[in-house]
Amino acid sequence: MVRYCLTIEYDGTNYVGWQRQITGSSIQQELEDAVKAFCGENSLVQGAGRTDAGVHALGQVAHVDIKRKTDGNTVRNALNAHLWPQPISILKAEVVPNDFHARFSAQARSYVYVIINRRAPIAIQRHRAWHISRPLKSASMHEAAQRLIGKHDFSTFRASHCQAKSPIKTLTSIDVRQVGERIEIVTKAPSFLYHQVRNFVGTLKLVGEGKWDADDVSKALEARDRQKGGPTAPPGGLYLTQITYPPNNP
């Protein structure tokens, strides 16, 4: 039995999310079906992060155990052949120690949320960005976002059906960057609560519109009440970009 670490890119638009569910297609299910088609084995593919329905990934990581004698390049190429034409791509497959775990070995997770800020609707990037027609002040959004950095009770930014044992998380960094009409909210933390990033974005939108300021964001955080935060941004603008592991891991 050999454990492989998979680095995966996918467009999550038409999937129910990462995790296999009773109804609807999931990324996990499609990967497990591809493994079965490749080597005839029923293997569990375990991901580093459970992205929601409609959320995308540029650098999702998962691991899978395969009995068949093979190598990383063959695993990558074979899985991609069986996944085609679905919008899921194995970027890399590497042999890792059997104690490596895509989720529990991870030290940090990074996401980017994309907003297209212009009057005209978006066509090419529909389902891949949040279109906001009202002008946003990205500098004010960045300033307000810094109030969220650190270890806090993030109940205000936690979905009501979040299954995490505690609302206390540590946000390592959050930056708001703008180039032309494209605004990116880039976040990094050891782990996130359910909908946490999307709730950050919905709150920062209020700041960008001039309805809130940085002090309002601080007050919302301190309230520890989801009703005191901004709306939940739609899933299509969110991308899981990177999973960080210790130096000796992938």
Indicate which CATH number applies to the domain containing 135: 3.30.70.660
| Enclosing domain of residue 87 | 2-105
Q: What length does the chain have?
A: 250
State the Cα–Cα distance between residues 90 and 176, nearest whole angstrom: 29
In a domain, 223, yes or no: yes
59 with 125, same domain: the answer is: no
Task: List the catalytic residues.
Answer: 52
Mean pLDDT of 231-243: 97
Residue that terminates a domain, selected from 105, 135, 165: 105
In a domain, 248, yes or no: no
State the Cα–Cα distance between residues 197 and 185, nearest whole angstrom: 9
In a domain, 126, yes or no: yes
H or E element that contains 241: strand 238-244
State the Cα–Cα distance between residues 178 and 67, nearest whole angstrom: 47
For 69-105, the pLDDT digits (tens) are: 999 999 999 999 999 999 999 999 999 999 999 999 9
Pick the closest to residue 39 from 62, 61, 69 (CA basis).
69
> Structure pTM?
0.95
